[in-house]
Amino acid sequence: MSIQPANGSAGVLVFSEHPDVAVELLGIGRALADAAGVELVALHAGEPLRQRAEDAVARGADEVRVLAPAQAERLGADGYLEALWQTVQERRPATVLVGSTRTGVEVAARLAQRLGVGCATDCIALEPGADGTLVVERRVFGGHFVARQVVHSAPAIATVPPKRFEAPPRDDARAGRIHEATLQLPAPRLRTIAVEERARSAVDISKAPVIVAVGRGLKRREDLALVEALAEVLGATLAGSRPVTDDLKWLPPDRKVGLSGQTVRPALYVACGISGQIEHVVGMRSARTVVAINTDPKAPIHGEADYSIVGDLYEIVPPLVAACRGARERQAVATLEALG
């Protein structure tokens, strides 16, 4: 695939410094571009340049603009802002989508301020509106309501939370342009002295198909064995709410589900002893099926659940584990009998 100069104007521009989020943005970006009959352009910075650029084309980008490796190595929020700013000046997109990462929300807000346009944050749905506007849906008032809003500015800037949209499949037959850009980047205002990795567990809960999460309904750290047994029999990943991960430190920080933790989309989410405050609910609301176990019938988590069990997890979980094990054993026996 050859590197070609950019020409024309882009309809939709997408960017995230995080590779996984960048891929997810291509899906919603492609949908918006197709609806408006315009091109989708992706801005990419970070190694491996060629591999990620070709992957973006295969997943829907008409053009991928990549920064020269020497520049990409020293980008921070200031550099990403300048890269987006110069790309917007050259390509004049109608819509700019930025991943809602810690860096992304800063960059999007600063870009909107520099351009003098509006910025819709944490959009959970996006669609083209009349006369080139962008219609978005956002959770407001602590996540209790969804607001449908129209962005009239040009370009319309919106940030998109990670894990909100599925990554589009690859189509290796797609053709696209890869353009290497050399931008005038500012001298960095901050200097990194050292980087220390935060302790992490071996599992990425954001990709888990089944999750068992525990909250303050658990009285002692030793009692984690109860929910661990449920997770084991369901083939689930163990997670927790903020009090369990941050305050009590019974689970690693990267096992936290919520606004300040991970956003998850499992097929099954079992909430054990979790009250369901909005900080937690925002992170698990996209689960396909939610089971709640809580002693308080008025706990907010019951409002999010498909199946609610009002009771003490110490009384509910052990027989639930036994029932699941029995069902699994019966299924195994039936399978063996069917095989003869």
* pLDDT value of residue 330: 87
Would you state the structure tokens that stand for residue 153, as one six-digit string? Answer: 């500015």
Q: Which of 152-156, 188-192, 305-309 has the highest average model confidence (pLDDT)?
A: 305-309
Nearest to 10 by CA among 97, 91, 95: 91
* pLDDT value of residue 295: 96
* pLDDT value of residue 44: 85
* pLDDT value of residue 139: 85
* pLDDT value of residue 340: 64
Residue 287: is its pLDDT beyond 70? Answer: yes
* pLDDT value of residue 274: 97
Percentage of residues of the chain with pLDDT beyond 90:
61
97-155, pLDDT tens digit by residue? 999 998 999 999 999 999 999 999 999 999 998 888 899 999 887 667 889 999 999 89
Q: What is the pTM of this model?
A: 0.67
The Cα–Cα gap between 319 and 48 comes to 50
The DSSP code for 61 is -
pLDDT confidence bin for 4, thresholds 50/70/90: very low
39-91, pLDDT tens digit by residue? 999 998 766 777 888 999 999 999 999 876 555 555 778 888 988 998 999 88
CA distances from 137 to 108, 122, 134, 140 (A): 17, 9, 10, 9
The Cα–Cα gap between 29 and 39 comes to 9
CA distances from 308 to 6, 40, 64, 293, 323 (A): 55, 44, 47, 6, 17
Q: Classify burial at 128, counting beta carbons within 10 Å of its beta carbon; exposed 0-12, middle 13-18, buried 19 or more.
A: buried
Residue 2: is its pLDDT beyond 60? Answer: no
The DSSP code for 253 is G
